[in-house]
Structure 1
Amino acid sequence: MTREISRTVWLFSLLSVLLLLTMLVALDTGATTVHLRDLWHPAGTQDQATRLVLRDIRGPRVVMACLTGAALAVAGTIMQGLFRNPLADPGLAGVSSAAALATACVIILGSSWQWATWLGMWTIPCAGIVGSFAGMGLLYLFATRGGVTSITAMLLAGVAFGAFSGALTGILIFRANDAALRDLTFWTMGSFSGATWRSVSLLVPFVLIAGALASCLAAPLNAMLLNEHNALLIGYPVERIKSLSILAVACATGPTVSLVGAIGFVGVVVPHLVRLAAGPDHRIVLPASAMLGAILLTGADTMARTLASPAEIPVGVVTALLGTPAFVWLLARSHRTDVS
């Protein structure tokens, strides 16, 4: 027991240090020659420009990347625990595709909708949030019969719903003009370039709700790793666990996808890496995944805006380039373990 506690303390200490260093490097790095050490220079025009860049441009971008990485990693951890499937992620349940479809509708058709002009800059985020919750609600209703939710039915329906949403999005693309098509293409690859403190403030409540639900679900998900019947015998309300898990995933995924676009591999790879270091206990895996997800996505965004500076690579491209080798390695490792 003492050895396990010591390993957990070391893990969270290491993740805390890495997260702090990653955030400092992200704040210190960018297309402009502005660094944190410039804050200690005497006040003046240069000092004001430095504060503007760090406070209003890089600051919200770093915070948004941390929140998004943590949210996607926690959502992936919950999905894998709920479905008892190591390949499960929020996109597999149709949350991301539903948000993408709603966003595509607004980008391509929104100019003809009066309510879109009322919402202004919040039109796309609100559409993505509504779309994700609506999609998750439909899947939940479809998979629930007689008060019992079938995880298998939800998983299969999520795959079908994702394909259907992709087809509808493809049809919408044919109606798009060049400007809308460019915006939609850039959005589907993910970017933090539009992050502001206002968008951060919109995301924070959803992340807090998802985090609170995740903390309540840690012990029940440990029981669900065996099977639903054993979890019910232990005394956990299985159907309530399912509904709360779905709500947590929707809160974590929908707002992030609507604000920064579709970013893959974080929800799949991060929980695996944490389990390799800490074991399967969700009381450790969930918070550790949130920290590692924040580290990974903040680092990926720093690479995205510096590798081709002054141009910017979509962060989804960077996560795919980093995540694909890691994912293949995890699959190969899992295959070797099964064979042995």
Structure 2
Amino acid sequence: MRTTPSQSGRPGALFPLMRAAPGLALWLSALALAALLSLLVDGSDASANVRALFALPGHDAWLAELLHTLRLPRVLAAAGAGALLATAGATVQLLFRNPLAEPGLIGVSGGAALAAAIGLSLGVGALTLTGFAFVGGLGALLLARQLCGRDLSGSRLILAGVAVNSLTVSLLTLLIATLSDGPLRSVTFWLMGSFAAMDWPGAAAMLAAMLPVWLLLRRQADFLNALQFGEAAAFHVGFAVSRRLQLAAMLAALATALVVSSVGMIGFVGLLAPHLARLISGGEARRLMTLSPVLGALVAVLADWISRLVLAPAELPVGVVTSLIGAPFFLWLLNRGRDHAGT
């Protein structure tokens, strides 16, 4: 009979009550509130935005058109992208058995970006571009896993991530140096990450892809729980380890590729959201895979909102905002791990 790891010997939840459904409802409510803020608060008249969004008497028809055709799909796309990145991040952390793992830090996003940039320079279509990004992201993930070998400690993982990222950045720089002005501008802007170009078809595709990828990865929860004791332990409780590892890795790479190919590089969401979920609900895979996408959507929506407010009416690339938040958080995690190792 298959078993799952208990929480004994692992960091407990800081807020045990958040494990239950009311806790999830609370975070879903926070996501809904963040989405409303992103829709309605933009430095202009918020009351006019409210009237336009809900078609109240006296609303501005042009403003209503702006909110419904540009702002709303952008917010939904941000939520979908954040959920996908957080799901991929939680999966990678469980696969590597390391809470410092993240698609960007171990080169998955870089590999997807390199392959997608090649696709962009060739002028391929949206579906082919996702295929390019998927192959690049999966290749980077497998390379990082190979470099780590059986040593999945934080230091080994970071070294593997640095190596893979250095390779992808070098190849990406080489590619950019060879591009003409037109493709160069599109690739450079895309690399910074932005939801500005998102329309209803793009948002619908993001959300439609998010649900099956998340469901398939969440179905791996029992295996990912067993994997925390090692591959041998997972094999002895009845899992086909090699096949399951490949499936989970491919789905994590696909989730990352869907985001990178659609909106560019958005770093650290896959680190922030799963780690916050771990602090809130504990490290059990099913809870982690349930809460992480909600928190990822929340982080992405808030980051997109901040990117539009800081320099309004201009805007920052959302990838810059997530990196400014995520990089200090990652350094704090590294320092916290060093302090724990020294005790």
The code of the aligned residue for 2:272 comes to V
Partner of 1:7: 18
Partner of 1:334: 337
Partner of 1:113: none
Residue among 217, 240, 243 paired with 1:240:
243
Structure 1, unaligned runs of 5 or more? 111-115, 117-122
The code of the aligned residue for 1:199 comes to G
Partner of 2:209: 206
Q: CA deviation at 1:92?
A: 4.7
Q: Which stretch shows the higher mean deviation, 230-239 or 4-13? A: 4-13
Q: Is the 8 A contact 2:144 2:164 kept in 1?
A: no
Q: Distance in 2 between matches of 1:136 and 1:172?
A: 17
User: Is 1:267 aligned to 2:270, yes or no?
Assistant: yes
**Which aligned pairs between 1:247-326 and structure 2 lie closer than 5 A?**
247-326=250-329
User: Is 1:220 aligned to 2:217, yes or no?
Assistant: no
Q: CA deviation at 1:162?
A: 4.2
Q: Is the 8 A contact 2:119 2:132 kept in 1?
A: no
Q: How large is the RMSD of aligned CA atoms in angstroms?
A: 3.0
* 4+ long deviations beyond 4 Å: 31-34, 136-145, 150-153, 155-162
CA 1:98 to 1:136, structure 2 compared with 1: closer, same or farther past 3 Å? closer
2:239 counterpart SS class: coil
Q: CA deviation at 1:68?
A: 0.5
**Which aligned pairs between 1:127-142 and structure 2 lie closer than 5 A?**
127-136=128-137, 138=139
User: Is 1:88 aligned to 2:139, yes or no?
Assistant: no
CA distances 1:185-221 after superposition (whole Å, capped 9, x unpaired): 2211100000011112322333122111121111211
CA 1:137 to 1:326, structure 2 compared with 1: closer, same or farther past 3 Å? closer
User: Is 1:21 aligned to 2:24, yes or no?
Assistant: no
Q: CA deviation at 1:314?
A: 0.3
Residue among 42, 57, 62 paired with 2:57:
42
Q: TM-score, normalised by structure 2?
A: 0.83
Structure 2, unaligned runs of 5 or more? 1-6, 8-12
Q: CA deviation at 1:12?
A: 1.2
1:131 counterpart SS class: helix
Q: Is the 8 A contact 1:12 1:288 kept in 2?
A: yes
**Which aligned pairs between 1:77-116 and structure 2 lie closer than 5 A?**
77-92=90-105, 94-110=107-123, 116=124
Q: Give aligned-pair identity as a percent.
A: 38
Q: Distance in 2 between matches of 1:11 and 1:245?
A: 27
Q: Is the 8 A contact 1:95 1:133 kept in 2?
A: no
Partner of 1:186: 189
Q: CA deviation at 1:158?
A: 7.2
CA 1:191 to 1:283, structure 2 compared with 1: closer, same or farther past 3 Å? same
Q: Distance in 2 between matches of 1:306 and 1:140?
A: 35
Partner of 2:198: 195
Q: Distance in 1 between matches of 2:39 and 2:281?
A: 30
CA distances 1:67-98 after superposition (whole Å, capped 9, x unpaired): 00010011011001001122222235543223
Q: Distance in 2 between matches of 1:29 and 1:290?
A: 24
Q: CA deviation at 1:99?
A: 2.5
CA 1:137 to 1:261, structure 2 compared with 1: closer, same or farther past 3 Å? closer
Q: Is the 8 A contact 1:103 1:127 kept in 2?
A: no
Q: CA deviation at 1:333?
A: 2.7
Q: CA deviation at 1:5?
A: 7.0
Q: Distance in 1 between matches of 2:140 and 2:186?
A: 28
Q: Distance in 1 between matches of 2:168 and 2:279?
A: 34
Which structure: greater helix fraction?
1
Q: Which stretch shows the higher mean deviation, 81-90 or 189-198? A: 81-90
Q: Is the 8 A contact 2:194 2:319 kept in 1?
A: yes
User: Is 1:165 aligned to 2:168, yes or no?
Assistant: yes
Q: Distance in 2 between matches of 1:158 and 1:332?
A: 18
Q: Distance in 1 between matches of 2:340 and 2:282?
A: 15
Q: Is the 8 A contact 2:90 2:274 kept in 1?
A: yes
CA 1:144 to 1:290, structure 2 compared with 1: closer, same or farther past 3 Å? closer
Q: CA deviation at 1:102?
A: 2.9
Q: Distance in 2 between matches of 1:334 and 1:315?
A: 28
Q: Distance in 2 between matches of 1:224 and 1:185?
A: 39
Partner of 2:10: none
Q: TM-score, normalised by structure 1?
A: 0.84
Q: Distance in 1 between matches of 2:139 and 2:275?
A: 29
Q: Distance in 2 between matches of 1:76 and 1:231?
A: 21
CA distances 1:83-122 after superposition (whole Å, capped 9, x unpaired): 1122222235543223322332244443xxxxx4xxxxxx
Q: CA deviation at 1:137?
A: 5.3
Q: Distance in 1 between matches of 2:274 and 2:341?
A: 19
